[in-house]
Chains A and B, each alone.
Chain A
Amino acid sequence: MTEDPEIVNLDECPIKPALLAGAPVSFVLTLFPLSYALCCLPLVIGGFVATTTFVSKYRIRVEIKVGMKVAILSCLAGFGASTTLYDLLWVAFDYRIGLNWYLELLSNFAQSAPESSRDQLLESIDTLKSHKIGFGVVVQQALTVIVTSGIGGAIGGAVASSLFKKGSLAQ
């Protein structure tokens, strides 16, 4: 592989276009409780899209830490926005996005689960139903957004920055 020796100043590459691409993906994928089926994949995908957009937009190669930073920021923006919307609907209309579907899925799993984990699932269904929004819940959600965006964004950004190695090095 031939590498372009030119070095691009990273300050000349604003991350806004990458955020505009990655954040909506994270937003859509985290708005519904897809985590039950896909674990941290929605956030990994959101971060991957952001870093890929950043790299392809400016035709650059980036170090892992730069790719991770872009991905984590986009995940924070997307997941933060979806959590805010979820809470707004919860407060305003007492409606929680995807809750009925999620509860139905949990009930199905509880029926087919072994006895040891069935009680735990049923308990978590009751907890979910009785949840009320408050300061504690908001703080917990904020922590969730930070921790999970860090994990998913770091993985997605690292993979994207090591996958695309064409163009000038930006640093």
Chain B
Amino acid sequence: MVKAKPAPILDVERLLALVPFISAHQGISIKDLALTFSVTPNQMNADLTTLWMCGLPGYTALELMDLSFDSGYVTIRNAETLQVPRALNFDECIALLFGLDLVKSALSEKSELHPTVDALVKRLAEKSGLTTALRATNPVSAGLRATIESALTSKLDLVIDYHSLYSDEFTQRTITPLEIRLDGGIEYLFAYCHTADAFRVFRLDRVSEATPRQVSESHMKNPTVKSDDPHECEIRITSRLRLMSERFSLENPVLSAPQKMRTYSHQWVVRSIFASAGSCELVSPTPLRAQIALKAQLILDRYMQPEHA
């Protein structure tokens, strides 16, 4: 439903936004301007040349905007008509409203900034014409992400407390963070783990603490990326097809027939079969099937014990 705007229209939008931006940043370099407006320095030069020809009717030196950019640094005068930035449009309002709700959820409960955020939300909501709250939360703490991002920029190691989902254990590790990546709504931290002496991927929402520290001497003993080979498994889904296809990340899920899937962790497969509560059966490998049956019997026995019955 979103229509892309044609090039000359986008140019006009950028030209109108440039005037107030330069007015507020007198002396900014063409390079920085190009970066801010996501265009090449050549395009920025063309933009400035066009603006240089614009102004109030009459178009004499008195009416034209007084733009100087020969030195590679830009100043603007005589641009009062366009000096105030344009009103926020609907999309801009909603982007800010969702963002403000995230900021609000990231603030501590006692923060004195809550009324300030609420007042901004109220003003933007009126402008957007939306009467319902735009809400957004993220399981990753915004303070924790700030610590990690700052370690990434200043090239510091981190000591993290990590809860491993598959083994259900808390561990403390020293890592060299490399990159944060978003995949399917989940944020991952790619890092070199000095505790394991290997590259590891951590789910950001499972990191509970992160403390920066100076880079350790034993820096990356095994700098080659060694990925484990995936194991092949076969599963058979008997019900709740949508949930199962989401859980096992299946592209072409089918009901009742056995289908192959790949995994890097047997622990994960066992837990996922249990968490499917009968909607999915493991067909192969056989040793893992036996493990599931044994485990299920063990849990069953406890449920059947008289003191727990």
- The finding on whether chains A and B are genuine partners in a shared complex, rather than unrelated, reads no
> Which residues of B are at the interface with A, using a C-beta cutoff of 8 A?
none
Binding site for B on A (CB under 8 A): none
